[in-house]
Structure 1
Amino acid sequence: MIKLNILSVFLLISIAISSQEKNQDSIPVPEPKSFITSHEITNGGNTISYKAIASETYLKGESGEPVASIWSVAYVKEGTNDITKRPVTFVFNGGPGSASVWLHMGMFGPELIKVNSDAKEDDGAAPYNLVTNKNGLLDLTDFVFVDPVGTGYSRVIGKGKVEDYWGLNEDANSIAKFIRQWITENKRWFSPKYIAGESFGTTRAAAVANTLEGDGQNMALNGLILISQALDYDGSTSVHDNITSYLTYLPSMAATAWYHKKAGQGKTLESFIDECRKYTYNSYASVLYKGSLITEDEKNEAAEKLSYFTGLKKDYILKSDLRILMPRFQKELLADQGLAVGRLDGRFMGDEVDKLSDGPHLGDPSSYQISSAYTAALNHYYASELKIKMDRPYLTSNDEIGEKWNWRTVPKGKYWEPTPVNVTRKLSETMRRNTEMKVMVASGYFDLICPFFDAEYTFSRNGIRKEKIKMTYYEGGHMMYTHEPDFIKLSNDIREFLSN
């Protein structure tokens, strides 16, 4: 009798432990949330009735269980007679680690936040200026704003792991999977399809376009809109000994010096930039590649020219060995005023406490002077207009993603040596397989992180067919749409791109 009771106890304990282990392995997954509202807007001279569909889309693992939740906001025109002729444009920002808030609330969304157009004032504190997007494109295309895993409301769920999403290839795979799933659920396989990305979002766009060709579900895109492109990181990484970056950044330094009246006075911006282009290609490149083999006369001549274009003193340039790192340019250009210029947008200026630091120490004024307005605008718009209620904060950015990001271009276990990221060749190959795909590249003259000259340098190589690329330029920075004249110009340029 005693032996039987002991056996029963052991059996009960074993069942309890087994049940606990099972519960630990099976994290409950709630039903995906969805919020649908109806709206009306006038774009392109037409009144558009549309639905805003803010929702979670669950991506499933190999065994069919949900492992990730992708948050998106879709704006879909109502009453479309033939959806096979109605384009849909997927939109995301960059980082990696940034949500789609910037293009959503700054460029393509039906409601936009407006910050100081001339980069003269900080966004300050609430209230802010939210306006209807009268220059919007909803008359031409539906939009789907996508937040990658770890940004916005998107996250891993169930047995999902962040390492399956936080990487160059992993990210492209998950976004491609989301796009296919959204297209399938909304019966849009015959609709023209576009991607609009900004910064790292352009890296993602090229990678996603390539990924969409595989997995037994080949999806051909009609076009890419690359805002502040970053396809080849050699040209957008200002570090010692990276000769490419000294070349690609110089014309943007010249443009910024012109803007702040430190160089090129009496000349138009375009003519001064063109002069700098020619010097960069025809003279500066050979100076850099010769290195210490140049003569003293060549060195002095180069220093004088660089001073002429950048507005920095000749002695400073000589001490820099004719190689000016971008953070130092940001700090030195307006050092006489105790100001540092922005990285995302060289028009912005920040008052630095430490006047001698090697680069801005407060952060990027073109970021911190507008980010609170964008964050407040999205949260207000979500709650008041889209009636969204979630149980967690919307992450406009997530630094943890960048810290853990996997830049490997090959699977783990395969031999790989770290190299600067370059997805241009992938884009070139995709465009040759998909001959109908066209690409628009939008660059800001005062962008000091993804320089416009790097776009020219990138798209003149890598097997890219020049006739398939439309290059456009703006007197703004990385987010050129914060400058009102450029916002209108960019909107018109994209309208023309989509219409043609």
Structure 2
Amino acid sequence: MKRQAESYFGVLLPASARTIVCLALFFPAWSGAARPALAEDAPAAASSKDAHSNADRDRLPPPAITEQTVDLGGRVLKFKAGIGAMPIRDESSGELLAEVVTTAFILTARDDKPETSACRPVVFAFNGGPGAGSAWLDLGALGPWRLPLTGAAQAPSAPPVVSDNRESWLDFADLVFIDPPGAGFSRLAGNEAARKKLWSVEGDVELLASVVRRWLQQARKLDCPKFLVGESYGGFRAPKVARALQESENIGVDGLILLSPALDFGWMDGRNNPLADAARLPSLAASHRDAKDRSEVADAESYASGDYLADLLRGPRDAAAQERIAGKVAGLTGLAPERVRRLQGRIGAGDWVFEADPSGRAIASLYDGATMEANATPGRRPQEWSDPVLDGLRAPLATAMTALAIEKLKWPVEARYEILNDRVSESWNWGSRRRSLEAMTDLRRAQALDPRLKILVAQGLYDLVAPYYANKLLLDLAPPVGAPDRIGFLALPGGHMFYAVDSSRAALRDAARKMISNE
């Protein structure tokens, strides 16, 4: 499958997507809904029974709750794990539109001492895509168990064996992983109209905000600290979900943690925008140098936002500017000067995929520019290719999550786990043009409305899909709202899923602990 840089970022849906979510979790029974329609997951009304019976009959299994333990390097945590489906029904017709699966981990004891906090912080985490399952964050970084994601693990046949995750956030927060319809085990059950509602930018945001609020009501945790974690397109979703919670669901969140976020699509899709080239250049240099710290590419950042941008704006007709660019960019990236000249100094992510290895025997990953795999057509640019990181990890992650749900969490699901659902990403309704979408406005408005709201942005140095320097520039260009330390920024070794690197996962955990625990 040909992998495009734009394939896996999520989007939001239209305001017409008014739905009612009936929760079926492992917490005490929910007593009611803020909206009318359905207060419990009852069969459809008799008048519409024939139209809805098939969707209602083909349901996911009832929720499962298990008692679990995890060892964080000599410290044992006991917790309840719950996995189940939330039925999503149209509030006027009662039609089942979808089932949204949540996986929750709730701490009960530490080293055999009961957990005494009546109101632990709650982290709601979702991935992007659209169509990416939450296993990336669950088994990759935050959850109680972890699957290795680097080296030999990046192969479809790699054994999907999970182990206790010493960097799990369960140590300082309860965790709820959400899979929108079409991702993970969550599924669409309705007709074409339901698909258009739920696979769109605004409808997606509305749905996620509703799920978060209803989960909090169900668990009696409305007064507990609340945090949203979004990765990739999920990082685009999170500021919009925070605003929807504030303004539509009457819920405030304490913090947003955005991992490799798509804050402004124009800075990633900017084929005619030299700022996009300047923002990508430090990630190309970091990939070439295998940089272990942002300080190692300080020269690339300085050049990208200074002389490089100035010479790009002089245009290809300025021969002297083109020569300066060719020499400097070649030195930063390791690309041949003549190749830089042919590209007029503008090195796209796709160019790097095929040019990083001058022999043509290997291709690089869009999601981690420092990672390469053998080229199936040595010496030639293939018409189609599989990304070494994104596609290599599909099978191990999906298999591990399926085994975890069935064997450890005792949820007898038969559905396939969608780790990256191409049908969702290809069918997504972006509203107008995707290139015009951004989340910085939502981020600023959410911040302005709530002076307590904290934000952490964390990224990988080798990420060519959502370059770290692009988001750093966007954050620096935004007008200050409140204290300067309200927004934290980390650029760590690794690619789009930078938490696959042990040191980066630990650094992310430490930064999240500091924010969530208010240290």
Q: With the length of structure 1 as denominator, give the TM-score of the two structures.
A: 0.86
Which runs of structure 2 are paired with 1:291-306 in the superposition (5 Å)?
291-292=315-316, 295-306=318-329
Take 2:434 and 2:497, find their aligned partners in 1: how far apart are those partners? 29
Take 1:39 and 1:378, find their aligned partners in 2: how far apart are those partners? 16
- Equivalence for 1:177: 210
Take 1:366 and 1:248, find their aligned partners in 2: how far apart are those partners? 22
Task: Determine if the alignment matches structure 1 residue 427 to structure 2 residue 460.
Answer: no
Q: Could you tell which deviates more after superposition, 445-454 or 155-164?
A: 155-164
- Asked whether the equivalents of residues 327 and 360 of structure 1 are also in contact (C-alpha less than 8 Å), the reply is no
Q: Percent identity?
A: 26
SS at match of 1:153: coil
Which runs of structure 2 are paired with 1:49-448 in the superposition (5 Å)?
49-63=78-92, 65=94, 66-78=96-108, 80-83=115-118, 85-116=119-150, 119=151, 122-123=154-155, 125-157=157-189, 161-215=194-248, 217-237=249-269, 240-259=271-290, 270-292=294-316, 295-336=318-359, 338-358=361-381, 361-408=384-431, 419-448=435-464
**CA drift at 1:82:** 4.3
- Asked whether the equivalents of residues 425 and 462 of structure 1 are also in contact (C-alpha less than 8 Å), the reply is no
Q: Could you tell which deviates more after superposition, 37-46 or 202-211?
A: 37-46
**CA drift at 1:404:** 1.3
**CA drift at 1:23:** 1.6
Task: Determine if the alignment matches structure 1 residue 468 to structure 2 residue 486.
Answer: yes
For structure 1, the 5+ residue unaligned runs are 1-18, 261-267, 409-415
Task: Determine if the alignment matches structure 1 residue 29 to structure 2 residue 56.
Answer: yes
- Asked whether the equivalents of residues 72 and 164 of structure 2 are also in contact (C-alpha less than 8 Å), the reply is no
Take 1:121 and 1:97, find their aligned partners in 2: how far apart are those partners? 22
**CA drift at 1:158:** 5.2
1:341-398 CA-partner distances (Å, limit 9, x unpaired): 1111122211112245557832211123322221221112112110111242221121
- Asked whether the equivalents of residues 248 and 454 of structure 1 are also in contact (C-alpha less than 8 Å), the reply is yes
**CA drift at 1:235:** 2.2
Take 2:435 and 2:359, find their aligned partners in 1: how far apart are those partners? 38
Q: CA RMSD in A?
A: 2.4
Take 2:433 and 2:123, find their aligned partners in 1: how far apart are those partners? 35
Q: Could you tell which deviates more after superposition, 73-82 or 370-379?
A: 73-82
When residues 141 and 203 of structure 1 are mapped into structure 2, their CA distance, relative to the original with a 3 A threshold, is: same
Take 1:445 and 1:326, find their aligned partners in 2: how far apart are those partners? 14
- Equivalence for 1:15: none
- Asked whether the equivalents of residues 152 and 396 of structure 1 are also in contact (C-alpha less than 8 Å), the reply is yes
Q: With the length of structure 2 as denominator, give the TM-score of the two structures.
A: 0.83
When residues 143 and 313 of structure 1 are mapped into structure 2, their CA distance, relative to the original with a 3 A threshold, is: same
| 4+ aligned runs moved over 6 Å, structure 1 | 19-22
When residues 305 and 127 of structure 1 are mapped into structure 2, their CA distance, relative to the original with a 3 A threshold, is: closer
When residues 211 and 359 of structure 1 are mapped into structure 2, their CA distance, relative to the original with a 3 A threshold, is: farther
2:70 is matched with which residue: 27, 34, 41?
A: 41
**CA drift at 1:61:** 2.1
Take 2:216 and 2:48, find their aligned partners in 1: how far apart are those partners? 38
- Pick the structure with greater CA Rg: 1
Letter in 1 for 2:476: S
**CA drift at 1:57:** 1.0
- Paired residue total: 462
SS at match of 1:114: coil
1:42-73 CA-partner distances (Å, limit 9, x unpaired): 44875332111101112332227243211010
When residues 150 and 234 of structure 1 are mapped into structure 2, their CA distance, relative to the original with a 3 A threshold, is: same
When residues 188 and 397 of structure 1 are mapped into structure 2, their CA distance, relative to the original with a 3 A threshold, is: same
